[in-house]
Every structure is written in C-alpha cells, then in structure tokens.
A and B are shown apart, each in its own frame.
Chain A
Amino acid sequence: MDLFARRGSVLLIGAGILFFLSPLILNRYTIFILNLFAIYALVSIGLNLVMGYTGQISAGHAGFLAIGAYFTAIVGTKMGWIPPVAVLLAAGLFTGIIGFLLGIPILRLKGFYIAMATLAFGVVVSEIVLQWSSLTHGDDGFRVPRAILWGFVFDSDKKLFYLVQPITLGMTLMARNIVRTRVGRAFLAIRQSEIASQTMGIHLAKYKTSAFAVSAFFAGVAGGLFAYVITYISPDSFSLGVSIDFIAMIVIGGMGSILGSIIGAVILTGLQQLLSGLPEVQLLIFGVLLILFMIFMPRGISGMISDWWGAGERRPWRK
C-alpha cells in the first residue's frame, strides 16, 4: 500500500514536471487551450464549492468572472506598475467581498430562489458593465494591458502559461484542503440538511456566506487570468449563457468533487473550441449532455470514476 502510494506520488510529480515542460514542444494554440482549461477549471472548482458542496445553486457566476476580469483590466491600465500576481490577488479579494455581500441576503432564501437571485445578480453585473462605459468602455470592449512582472512582459501564450498554471495548481490544492477540513465537512453537512447541521453547531450564516466568498474569490482570480489570456473583454463574454455553461461543467464533471470540476471544465471547454464554428450544434450538445447526465448520472463523471475505483465508500455524503 505504502509502495503503491509512493509510486503514485512519483508518477504524479513526473507528470507535473512533464506538464510544466510541455510548452517547449507544444504549439501556440494548444498552449492557449491549456490556459483556458485552467481558467475554467478554477471557476468550476469555485462554483462546485458553493453548489456541489454547500448545495446553493448559483446561476450568476459569470458576474463574478466579469468583476475579476474588469478589475484586473482597470487596475492594469491605471496602475500598470503593480505586479500581476498582486493584481490577481486583489481581484480575487475584491470579488470575494462582493460574493460575501451577495451571500448575506441569500441567507434568507432557499433552493430555487437562490438560483433566481444569483441569476439576476449575473445579469445586473453585465448590464452595469455595459452602462458604466466611462470606466469599462461599455459595448466597445476593453483591451487589457499586458501583465508585466519586474520588466518581464507576459506577451505570449507560452509565457502566460507560467502565470496561469502555477496559480491554478496552487488554488486547486487550496480547494482540496478546504474541502478536507472541518470547513469542507460543514459545507457538505449544510448541503445534506441545513437544520440538522445547525443542530450540530454549524454556524449556518458564517459557512454559507463564506462559501459564496470563497467561490467568488476563485471566480475573481479566474476572471483576472481570463483578462490576461483573452486580452480583450466585453460584456458579451459574461452573459447568462456563460453562467449556465459553468453549471453544465460541474454537473457533467461531478458535483461535490474537485477532480470532477476539472474534468467538466476540460470537456466543455474542449467541446467549445472544437465546435467554435458551429455554435448552435455546440449548445445543442451542451443541453443534451446536461439532461442526460442529470437523469442517468447525477453524480457526473467523477462519480462514475469513484464507483469504478471502489473509492465510493470514502465519500462522506454518498447515498
């Protein structure tokens, strides 16, 4: 067992080293796609924390992504001397505070009402971005300045790879630690039964708002990275449809699973890129997948994997 574990971790580290060397041989487009995978994986992990773990539907995560992206773009333009990592951290914290503030009124709501309130939040954010054109350039879109760290300019996808991937890796580990500690178990308990978890002494208000705050933090950082990688953002990039894509990612990947979030993000982003010439077909496939997964495999791909490996028993909330 010990040997296997060690061999597993050696394999994992080897794969990691190979992954970080891969830009040396991959072409520009593939690297760009890998960066997109990472960004959407971050959003999807964040969404999973609030939806898959804590059980609060959010149909407005594109709003958080927009706040992170515009924060980064605006700060990058007005104060270009701040190193990108600090800008991203600030974008994440700013979005996190907004997530926390949104979490407060949502405390009073349940189930589908939360979905409606977050949906409205997402649409209002993109409407504000559209109307506040003195700050956001409205419909014309915003050209994001390059990230510059001590004179080093992140001006290619290859260079951005080394900004995006380490941050994603670090935050994935952070999410994994969150869900394994008492905080994560509190989230799961809330998902199962709010009343039961309250009787066990879980501070409902504290954990629900912090789930929203952490989730928004992830989406905010992802939004900042999105701005750097895409280099041009406009309100269209953050429509209601985008929020629904995020829901599709975690439903297909697997709710309540970090690995599932990554799998879902990779599959749907991959499909999006493959079918970028046929947006109707792409949407049709998303919709059909969403329905089929929800009816036949509500625990998503990661649920299937963990059943297959017999690790299902370890899942604390397995039915």
Chain B
Amino acid sequence: MLLQVIVSGIATGCIYSLMALGLTLIYKSTEHVNFAQGDMSMISGFLAFTFFQFLRLPFIPSLFLALLFSIGLGLLMERLLVRPAITAPHFNIFIITLGASIVMQSFAGLVWSYDQFPFPTLFPAKNIILGGVRLNTNALGIICTTGLLMLALFLFFKYTRIGTAMRAVSQSQNAALLMGINVKRSFALTWAISGFISGIAALLIAPVIFLSTRMGLVVIDGFAAAILGGWGSIPGAVLGGIALGVLENVAPYYFPSQIRNIIPFAVLVGVLVIKPTGIIGEERRRRV
C-alpha cells in the first residue's frame, strides 16, 4: 500500500520536476526567474483543449499543435517581455513575469471562463499488478514520459553543438560571445525549450487535476521543488521534484489530510531557513 502511494508520489513529483526544470533552465542561462512558468503550462493546456474540443481536431494532433504553440509562447515571452528589459536588474524581470502570470490568468479566465474542465488522459486507464503492487498506468505513463524528456534534454545539452553552446552561455555570457556564439539566440532557445517543457507538463497534469485557470499555481510547487533540490542545479530540480511529490503523497498518511495543502510552503520555508542551498546545491560566493 505504501509502495503504491510512493509510486503515485513519484508521478506527481515528475510534474513538479518538469516545472522546476523549466525554471532552472531559464535561471541558468540568464539568472532570470520566470514566475509565469505555470501559467504558460495552463495556456498550453487550454489550447490543446480548444483544438480537440471546439475545433474538433483529432486528439493526438491537437496535442502536438498545442506543444508547438507552447514553444511559441516561450519565444514570445522572451522577445516581448524579457529582452526589452534585459539590462534591468533581475528584480525587474521577476516583477515582469509576475505581471505576465496575472495577464495569462485573467486572459484565460476571459476566454475559457474560470470553470474546471475534464481533460482526457494520454494513457489507457488500467491498473497493472507488478510484484504484488497495484500500479496505475497513468502514473507510470507520467513517469516514463518525464524520464524520456529528461534523457532527450540530457543528450541535447551534452552532445549537440547548440546544446554545448547553450551550456557555454550559462557559464559565461561574455566568453561565449567572444567564441562567436550567438548569445541572444541562445537565450531565445532556452525560453523555447522551457516553453516546450511547460507544454509537456500541461498535458501530463491536466488529466490529473482538471484544466482550470488555477492550474498555473503549480509553479509554486515547482519553486519549492527547485529550492529543495538546490536552486540552479538541473539534477537538483529533478530530485527535488520527486522528493516533494513523494512527501506530499506520504504525509497525509501520518498527519491530518489538510497538511497536503501547505506542504510545498512548509518545504519552502523549511529549506530556506535550515539550508538555503538545498540538497545538492552549492553555495555561491560573489565577488564584490
């Protein structure tokens, strides 16, 4: 029974990992914090919903179309909101993405209303019994999809030319510029990838928690996950997400069930008070 809860916790955790990963990628390349990551997800979910529900497109192509749009949304954010203020302090970009988050939420509320909509799942709903543990196929599907995406990202950053260039930019923008890397394009690409991840997250999470304008709040779990793992570290984001998901699913077993609502916040406060660098983050010292 506990094992089953842990597996579904890992599945929830995968979604948090995806959120945390999107945040971390952007942070690593430009040190910007994107508060609108969850709302980008929400918009992608609603777009997919519109394609197959109102425009009557077939289900799978609508999802792909929505993913394309989510990439576009990432690029749009970078071009319209971040680049005009690229020289401003990071504080300003944080406030700008906060504004973007409000705009996306109210926009979605105006277009699609504040109701909740059921979202069909990608995976057949069946239970598999594996070694005496009853496993939900949806949870397994989420875990596998996330795993594949992470693997693809790892290969991309490790072995492709563009991926290597992007890693170079995240280490030092000036040095990368001197090596002839197009830094601006690299920033745009980071946002595009981040948008794509938010789109995938939307398709995985919407069947579980229903599609609604409040879906964007998952970004807070993403922050909690990234900080728990170690802010700015990609393995940390993945690990933190899974740890948070498991914690959230296991805690109601031992404590009153309302505790579930405040776990991400308790984790945020707890980690920041006890060890702000998280599980595997390292302390950064800045030169004056």
Residues of chain A at the chain B interface (Cβ within 8 Å): 55, 57, 105, 108-109, 111-113, 115-117, 119-121, 123-124, 127, 131, 195-196, 244, 247-248, 251, 280-284, 286-291, 294-295, 298
Contacts and interface: CB of A to CB of B under 8 A. Distances in A.
A124 B264 CA distance: 10
Contact of B265 (A108, A120, A251, A290): A120
Given A113-B231, A195-B288, A294 B96 contact: yes
A48 to B, nearest CB: 14
B265 A115 contact: no
Contacts of A291: 81, 96, 99-100, 103
Interface of B: 33, 81, 84-85, 88, 90-92, 94-96, 98-107, 109-110, 220, 223-224, 227, 231, 258, 261-262, 264-266, 268-269, 272-273, 276, 288
A57 B94 contact: yes
B93 to A, nearest CB: 8
A124 B266 contact: yes
Contacts of A119: 220, 268
A109 B273 CA distance: 9
B85 A294 contact: yes
Interface of chain B, helix or strand or loop or mixed? helix
Given A113-B231, A116-B223, A124-B269, A283 B102 contact: yes
Contacts of B104: 287
Contacts of B103: 284, 287-288, 291
B272 A247 contact: no
A124 B262 CA distance: 7
- Which interface residue of A55, A121, A127 has the most chain B CB atoms within 10 A? A127
A288 B99 contact: yes
A195 B100 CA distance: 32
For the complex of A and B, 6 pairs with smallest distance between CB atoms: A287-B102, A290-B99, A287-B103, A283-B106, A291-B99, A120-B265
A287 B227 contact: no
Contacts of B262: 123-124, 127
Given A57-B94, A105-B272, A298 B88 contact: yes
Given A127-B261, A287-B105, A290-B96, 13 more contacts: A113-B276, A120-B268, A123-B220, A283-B102, A283-B105, A284-B102, A287-B103, A287-B106, A288-B103, A291-B103, A294-B85, A294-B88, A294-B96
